[in-house]
Chains A and B, each alone.
Chain A
């Protein structure tokens, strides 16, 4: 199985400051069609997960542009340029290339 390792697992951030979450994969994530199906999800307290970023760097409609995704190969990153109060929650990376599908452990973002 593909193991996705997120770091850090806890991320206290000051409002207005940047935040960065790493997701490292135990295998490459390029699918046979050439796409790399590494996605990022946000789960706010008490809510369902919501997709933020798909295929490494494509931001979903309605997602603020302070969120960005990058990476290649086995190393991927989610960045928040300036953290706002509404960004509090748990962030998960997920790979949609290999079976079984797998998620990272989750990174809890909180305000200092």
Chain B
């Protein structure tokens, strides 16, 4: 199971940190991913991280602004989002895996607006 939290309303230029608590599987054995969905739009891959947290990947639009990380002792995945823009408004899903993404959380909503 994956349970996201940390979403909310933030002004443009602001920051938020999303968390994803994992349970029911060996967290360190799995790479993890964040996928987002803007209102009324399709799915967009945002970022992924290896099981040991060493290797990270980002979509171009968030490079330099977002940081993915994980705490394997706490079975938790994070997404630190800085310099937020209106176009970052979306539901953010935590997903297990990077090749065949088999488990999805229920999502947490981020709204960037003044």
Inter-subunit contact A51/B99 (CB<8 Å)? no
Per a CB cutoff under 8 Å, which of A48, A60, A100 touches B102? A60
Number of interface residues of A (CB under 8 A): 26
For the complex, count residues of B whose C-beta is within 8 A of A: 21
Say whether A100 contacts B100, CB under 8 Å: no
Q: Is B24 an interface residue (CB 8 A)?
A: no
CB distance from B56 to the nearest CB of A (A): 11
Number of A-B contacts (CB under 8 A): 56
Tell me whether A99 and B99 are in contact (CB under 8 A): no
User: Chain A binding site: helix, strand, loop or mixed by DSSP?
Assistant: loop
Of the listed stretches A17-25, A69-77, A102-110, name the one at the interface; the rest are far from the partner chain: A102-110
Give B51-110 interface residues, CB cut-off 8 Å to A. 57, 59-60, 93, 97-102, 104-107
B106 → chain A closest CB, angstroms: 5
Given A100-B57, A100-B59, A101-B33, answer yes or no on A51-B102 (Cβ-Cβ < 8 Å): yes
Q: Given the complex of chains A and B, what is the CA–CA distance between A112 and B57 in angstroms?
A: 42
